[in-house]
Structure 1
Amino acid sequence: MSSPKRSFLFLQGVCSPFFQRLARRLVADGHRVAKVHFAGGDIAYWSRQSGRAYRFRESLAALPAFLEEIRQRHGVTDQVLFGDQRPIHRAAIASARADGVRSHVLEEGYFRPFWITLEQEGVNGHSLLPQNATWFREVAPSLPALPRPTRFRSPFRVRATHDVLYHLAGLGNPVLFPRYRNHAPVTAPVEYAGYLKRFTQLRFWKPRDARRIASLIDEPRPYFVLPLQLNSDAQIRDHSDFSGMPEVIEHVMASFARGASSDSRLCIKNHPLDMGLIDYAGLIARLERRYGLEGRIVYLESGDLNALLKHATGTITVNSTSGIVALEHGCPTIALSRPIYRLDGLAFKGTLDEFWRQPTPPDHDLFRCFHKTVMHTVQLNGGFYCRPGIDLALDHVTRRLEAEVSPLEALL
């Protein structure tokens, strides 16, 4: 059942036309829409037809009062944003909650590649999904069967083009938004230079890494997998106790040296979108010598993660969605922070030192309940970058935003 017409305030979105198209859809359905611009890229991916826009040019401390004035002026009932850990969004969510305004947070999907996430108030470590395995077992049987997703192809070049255009528009920030500070710890030119260098090297790494993966799978020795997350990821910076991936790598390798059997190996695989700004190979080689692990560490810059996880003895992650992929394969998994899948019966609840000796497979029935519930409540078929993905997402997100009660709220 659709709600009465509402008033939506849009904050920062993803680097693509998705937000402006979503706003137009809501306006066409009779809702009111306003937008706050924080940077030049926000202006580039907005239009007058999408709704009235305001520019925020002050320091972060002035943002709550600025937003409160706009909410009152437009009678805002809901605000929409991408990612809950940008400094401007943390302040906006807190002030909206105090005003009784709902925050709808969009993010990349927990299950990929054909899904996106939409939750109220926060995602990942701030998700409203209960950290209670019994709850998932109880609610899943009453939920309808999951439909098959509509598949689409989302070329990386499309996403990269949107990103470049967004940051080119940001060249005007010193004049238009003099106090704006990007939430990303790395500037766009440095990021692009890193990608260019790394992607030119991938063609040399892929054959080598394919051989290393085949060797790991074919040999009878047990192996564990540590899939790296992006060092700049908010999941690491804001939702974990680690300062970055180098600290994660050292923590895991030190524990592996203490607790793992002498015949086991540790495979560390880089993230496919890593910018190449950290010499992980060099770091791992130094730690290998420090902890006496020569010959027991395999480092990959590329390769088929699904094949690795399917045959692995166990997987170690901080809070990556690769942990969900590992659980899908029935692979014992330990999470070093508190992602949504850190449930009794899914993720290993002991210490990392204990995990090497006692890797416990996830409960298949519990994972089925978890998967069905998460998909029903906070996952929507679609994407943020290519036209087919955006078209799908618009239909599903619009219906979810217009509903009086979200599926998760109904279950809670």
Structure 2
Amino acid sequence: MKLAFFAARRVHQTYFAALADHIKKTGLQASVIWHKALWMDVRWLLRVTPADEALATLVDDHLREKQNSRKGRQRRDTYWRIFRTIKRLEARLLKAVYQQALIRSQATHVLLWNGLKFRQRVVMAAARAAGMQTLVMENGLLPGMTTMDARGVNFLNSVPRDPAFFMSYSGHWPTRSSPVPQRPDGLPPAYIFIPFQVNTDSQIVLFSPWLKDMFALTDALLKAEQALGEKMPCVVMKTHPACDQDYTGLAASLAEKSQRIQLWQSGDTQALIRHASAVATINSTVGIEALVANIRTLVLGQAFYDLPGLTLHAGDQTALERALLSLADFSPNPTLRQGLLAYLHNDYQVPGRWQEADEAHLTAACEHLQRILASNG
């Protein structure tokens, strides 16, 4: 068994190098592949294959990601037709380049970061073509932890989806009490907090079937307010600091059109979560933060933590309006909540932040990796 770490960013290359060195001490073979200059091994030319459905799908997903960007919204259809053609060719060539690099590494397993972006998905396609298994890593779902999974991240991860699993889980979730931030001025007495997400993020592009961006989310809430009238609960939304979209006009429009919906373009997200009577999210990790804080949670997209009895779900406009009315009376099952959080803390997550990879974290990551490899043959 041999492991290859595939790095597309310098910070991941550095981390993977430290992890690979640590793994070698356990007797496993490991190496790090840096994505640049791989094309210089010209044997990849022999591995170029015709376009297939999987590559076409990931190119189309990448196209929708780019179309969701601030600049992308200004592009014409002609631009996107050319973009698709070029990216389909690029995907075929990159797959051949990556496949050659992986075969040269003689790895049996490939570990990469996230696995949902364009190049990363091409790497996974190349690994499959080479007969190799893939693993992925990502930022932690809980504070001070890191994710490692043999299946994927976010909605694709291997966290069980059966509530019965967590109802019978015997592990302990170490309850943490953190000080509640000061309540920001200008909040309604009671409100549902909804965090905006980055329009180009894979969480929106891949796992939000009916709300394609934050404008669609806002439109759905305005329709709900029109339908529910005085029964519509107050909603406070907040823009994402990493999103390049300008929402100034949207905030001003909401101030004119709505009596119940606000859009904040700054503010302390933690304070907005902790003072909310409920949280609604498409699939943000804010949903996990709400569960940790024991706040009622409504999920509007596809999220691994969206479990019957733990959260409410709205997959269309009618369900959204119904959920907005019932959210205040919803009571999450405490045993289910305890079981999920305990499982994430004790079994699923790697202790320590990868950005601060000390000896304890590297040891824990190696042990976690060995358990995954053992359980997956």
Same fold (TM over 0.5): yes
**Aligned: 1:339 with 2:339:** no
Which of 130, 136, 139 is matched with 2:160 structurally?
Answer: 130
8 A contact 2:254–2:263 mirrored in 1: no
AA aligned opposite 2:371 = A
Provide the aligned C-alpha RMSD in A. Answer: 3.4
2:184 equivalent to 1:210:
yes
Aligned pairs for 1:371-390 within 5 A = 371-385=341-355, 387=356, 389-390=357-358
Equivalent pair of 1:334/1:352 in contact (CA under 8 Å): no
* Of 6, 10, 33, the match for 1:11: 6
For structure 2, the residue ranges without an aligned partner over 5 or more in a row are 46-88, 177-181
Q: Does 1:230 align with 2:198?
A: yes
The yes-or-no answer on 1:108 pairing with 2:73 is: no
Aligned to 2:236: 267
- The code of the aligned residue for 2:250 comes to L
- Seen in structure 2, the aligned counterparts of structure 1 residues 232 and 370 have a Cα distance that, compared at 3 Å, is same
Percentage of identical aligned residues: 23
Q: What is the aligned counterpart of 1:31 among 20, 28, 46?
A: 28
1:323 and 2:287 are equivalent in the alignment: yes
Q: Within 5 Å, which residues of 2 pair with 1:64-75? A: 64-75=95-106
Question: Which amino acid is 1:324 matched to?
Answer: I
1:76 Cα deviation after fit: 1.1
Give the corresponding residue for 2:278: 314
Residue deviations 1:216-271, cap 9 Å, x none?
3xx3xx31111112233221122223433232233233324423645732111223
- In 2, Cα distance between equivalents of 1:100 and 1:111: 33
Query: 1:192-226 CA distances to partner (integer Å, 9 max, x unpaired)?
Result: xxxxxxxxxxxxxxx9x9322xx43xx3xx31111
Residue 260 of structure 1 contacts residue 353 of structure 1 at CA under 8 Å; is this kept in 2?
Answer: no
- How many Å apart are 1:81 and its aligned residue? 0.6
Q: Which one-letter code corresponds to 1:18 in the other structure?
A: Y
Q: Tell whether the 8 Å contact from 2:15 to 2:354 is kept in structure 1 after alignment.
A: yes
1:250 corresponds to 2:219: yes
Tell me the CA shift for residue 406 of structure 1: 6.2
Preserved contact between residue 10 and residue 34 of structure 1 (Cα < 8 Å): yes
Deviations 1:114-158 (A, max 9, x none): 1111111211111122322112223x12x4x45799xxxxxxxxx
Aligned 8 A contact 2:298 2:312 in 1: yes
Conserved? CA contact 1:259–1:356, under 8 Å: no
Residue 397 of structure 1 pairs with residue 365 of structure 2: yes
1:375–1:55: structure 2 CA closer, same or farther, 3 Å change rule? farther
What residue identity is the alignment partner of 2:238?
Answer: K
Deviation string 1:310-369 (CA, Å, 9 cap, x unpaired) is: 342322101001011112233221111111111101110351111111012321111101
Is contact 2:20-2:30 (8 Å) kept?
yes
* Pairs within 5 Å for 1:39-54: 39=36
Query: Who is 2:245 aligned against?
Result: 278
1:400 deviates by 1.7
Aligned to 2:150: 120
* Structure 1: stretches of 5+ with no match in the other structure: 1-5, 43-52, 150-206
Q: Is the 8 A contact 1:10 1:33 kept in 2?
A: yes
Q: Please give the secondary structure, in 2, of the residue aligned with 1:303.
A: coil
**Is 1:356 matched with 2:324?**
yes
Look up the SS of the partner of 2:184 in the other structure: helix
When residues 24 and 148 of structure 1 are mapped into structure 2, their CA distance, relative to the original with a 3 A threshold, is: farther
- C-alpha contact (below 8 Å) 2:112/2:136 kept by paired residues: yes
How far did residue 393 of structure 1 move?
A: 3.1
**Partner residue, 2:108:** 77
| Contact 2:184/2:272 (<8 A) preserved | no
Counterpart position of 2:54: none
Given the superposition, is the C-alpha separation of residues 287 and 210 from structure 1 closer, same or farther in structure 2, using an over 3 Å criterion?
Answer: closer
Alignment equivalent of 2:337, drawn from 353, 364, 367: 367
Is the counterpart of residue 293 in structure 1 residue 261 in structure 2? Answer: no
- Paired residue type of 1:248: L
